[in-house]
Amino acid sequence: MRALESQSPAASGPTEGWRTLPLKDQAYEVIKHQIITCRFAPGEKLNEAQVAERLGLSRMPVHNALARLRLEGLVTIRPRKGIEVRPIDPEELLQIIDARTVNECRCAELAARQATEEELAAMANVLRRSETALARRDTEAMMLLDREFHDLIARASRSAVFFDILRNLHDRAVRFWFISLNEADHQVEVLEEHEDIYRTLAARDPPAAARAMARHIDAFRRNVLLLVGAAPG
């Protein structure tokens, strides 16, 4: 495990307590984090043995992790051709955003009705931590806090199905998000959008929550498509 331990937690471990997970889950979390932060670049070819050596793991956990990431749409595995990190595809992004808009706006409506005071407090805490990350221009921390904020909303919907759907969509979209968050102005905009969403949830206003979420997702869509050179449409 020396290679994992030599990396900073932010660089290698995206989930709290990841070091206590079984090796196959550690490998999954770390490789996924390398992909979504573009340390394993879009289109990059991966070799199981080299990845295992780089991460200080045996090959079996890495093999299992890559198979799981294939099912989640983050890598492509082709017999006799190897493993490739899924390239950036604007058309795929549009499909992900369409799915997010339908599901996440409804999820926000439900959360506005059903979020507990503890969940709202947790969201407010994420926003305070986001202000600190923004002041440091810490893009990786902002990315992780964005995921935590949206996870909290999904959990507050009281729908395990929505949570699973949205977690997968976020994981598939987060590479685009990470690219866009390198723009300092966009980091400010994302925090402001999260604050708008939070206010509607705290006000227990489902229609306003859905509208705020829709604006947030559409801003993401326009920003990222401009960055990858596609017409917003």
- Verify that 143 and 174 share a domain, yes or no: yes
Nearest to 37 by CA among 137, 143, 135, 185: 143
Rounded alpha-carbon distances, angstroms, from residue 48 to 7, 40, 115, 150:
19, 13, 43, 32
Please name the residue ranges forming H helices in the chain: 2-5, 9-12, 23-36, 48-55, 59-71, 90-114, 117-136, 139-156, 160-180, 184-202, 206-227
How high is the pLDDT of residue 185? 76
- Verify that 182 and 112 share a domain, yes or no: yes
> Would you give the DSSP letter of residue 40?
S
Q: Which of 41, 64, 85 corresponds to the end of one domain?
A: 85
How high is the pLDDT of residue 13? 53
Q: What is the pTM (predicted TM-score) of this model?
A: 0.80
How high is the pLDDT of residue 183? 66
Using one digit for the tens of pLDDT, what is the confidence trace for 3-43?
333 333 333 455 666 677 888 888 998 999 899 888 898 89
Residue 104, in any domain of the structure: yes
Residue 151, in any domain of the structure: yes
Residue 232, in any domain of the structure: no
The band of 215, judged by pLDDT with boundaries at 50, 70 and 90, is very high
- Verify that 80 and 135 share a domain, yes or no: no
- By CB atoms closer than 10 A (0-12, 13-18, 19+), residue 19 is middle
- Verify that 113 and 135 share a domain, yes or no: yes
How high is the pLDDT of residue 184? 67
Tell me: pLDDT of 83 over 70: yes
- Verify that 72 and 101 share a domain, yes or no: no
The band of 198, judged by pLDDT with boundaries at 50, 70 and 90, is very high
Residue 233, in any domain of the structure: no
CATH of the domain at 76: 1.10.10.10
- Verify that 96 and 145 share a domain, yes or no: yes
- Verify that 118 and 54 share a domain, yes or no: no
- Verify that 120 and 185 share a domain, yes or no: yes
Q: Which of 23, 54, 85 corresponds to the end of one domain?
A: 85
> Would you give the DSSP letter of residue 137?
T
Q: Which of 26, 59, 85 corresponds to the end of one domain?
A: 85
Axis crossing angle, helix 206-227 with helix 160-180, rounded to the nearest 10:
40
- Verify that 162 and 187 share a domain, yes or no: yes
- Verify that 117 and 172 share a domain, yes or no: yes
- Verify that 72 and 146 share a domain, yes or no: no
- Which residue range is the domain that position 29 belongs to? 2-85
